[in-house]
Amino acid sequence: MSTNPDRLRVALFFLVTLCSGAVGDEIRSGGKFPLVVSTWPFLEAVRAAWKSVDSGLSAVDAVVEGCSACEELRCGRYRFGFSYFWCSFFVGPGGSPDENGETTIDAMIMNGVTMEVGAVAAMRYVSDGIRAARLVMQHTEHTMLVGEQASIFAISMGLPGPTNLSSEESREKWINWKKSKCQPNFRKNVMPIDDCGPYSPESILNFGERTCLNTKRSGLDQSVPYHVDRHNHDTISMAVIDKMGHIAVGTSTNGATFKIPAVGDGPIAGSSAYADTEAGACGATGDGDIMMRFLPCYQVVESMRLGMEPKLAAQDAIARISRKYPNFVGAIFAVNKNGVHAGACHGWTFQYSVRSPDMDDVVVYTVVPEMPTV
Answer for the pair 70, 252: CB distance below 8 angstroms, yes or no.
yes
What is the distance between the alpha carbons of residues 90 and 231, in angstroms, rounded to a whole number? 9
Residue among 374, 288, 351 at smallest CA distance from 43: 351
Q: How many CB atoms lie within 10 A of CB 176?
A: 9
Q: How far apart are CA 139 and CA 275, in angstroms?
A: 20
Residues ≥6 apart with Cβ < 8 Å to 21: none
d(CA 144, CA 150): 8
Q: How many degrees, rounded to 5, is the angle at CA 6 between CA 2 and CA 10?
A: 100
**Cα separation, 32 vs 3, whole angstroms:** 31
Of 17, 103, 235, 253, which is the active-site residue? 235
Peptide bond before 34: cis, by omega within 30 degrees of 0? Answer: yes
Say how many C-beta atoms besides its own lie within 10 A of residue 69's C-beta: 23
Rounded CA-CA distance 125/96 in Å is 14
Three-class SS state of 216: coil
Q: Which of 303, 250, 301 is nearest to 66 (CA)?
A: 250
**Residue type at 121 in one-letter notation:** A
What is the chain's alpha carbon radius of gyration, rounded to the nearest angstrom?
21
Residue 3 known to be catalytic: no
| Residue 78 host element (H or E) | strand 77-80
Amino acid letter, residue 362: V
By annotation, the residues acting in catalysis are 235
